[in-house]
Amino acid sequence: MRTVAFFVHGVEAVVRLFGWIAAWTCVVLVGLVAGDVLMRYAFSIGSVWLQELQWHLISPIALFGMSYLLLMGEQVRVDVFYERFPVGLQRVIEVIGGLLLLVMGLYIAWLTLPWIAQSYARGEASPNPGGMPLRWLLKSLIPFGFVLLALQGLAHALRQVFALPTRGE
């Protein structure tokens, strides 16, 4: 039981870290967009690289944020039905959902690996002049984000199976 709790808390600590990174990436993104707009309209200066960076920052926000949302209990549910179910059935649904996320997350991560390897081998960069290089690096966030989601799904399922209290309980 202690090993399971240690694993769950470890995964959740990593997910919290990447949730924090996603949150601060949002702040950086807002600053970049505001700066880009100011530079473009006040000084008629624009940068393709800066615009692409703004688009690319959305990826870690979504990919790291999805596991953080699961950790915080903000995942999408049909609460109209779910809240009326007995607690035991709710836990079964949470376990099944967590295990499905584990399988789905690992499968999606695995599917993306050849695509990233191809991008790396080609030295893929932006097709736009002055655009961002190393596009494979951005693409590598996809399997990482889905592995993180898979691990949080497993931690979520284990928390329900072993009725582990959340931190602070």
How much is the pTM?
A: 0.91
Residue range 104-153, pLDDT digits in tens: 999 999 999 999 999 999 999 988 888 889 899 999 999 999 999 999 99
Residue range 47-93, pLDDT digits in tens: 888 899 999 999 999 999 999 999 998 887 777 888 899 999 999 99
CB atoms within 10 A of CB 157: 21
Compute CA 44 distance to the chain's CA centroid, rounded to the nearest angstrom: 35
pLDDT score, position 168:
46
Does the pLDDT at position 36 exceed 80? Answer: yes
Which one-letter DSSP state was computed for residue 128? S
Distance CA 52, CA 48 (A): 6
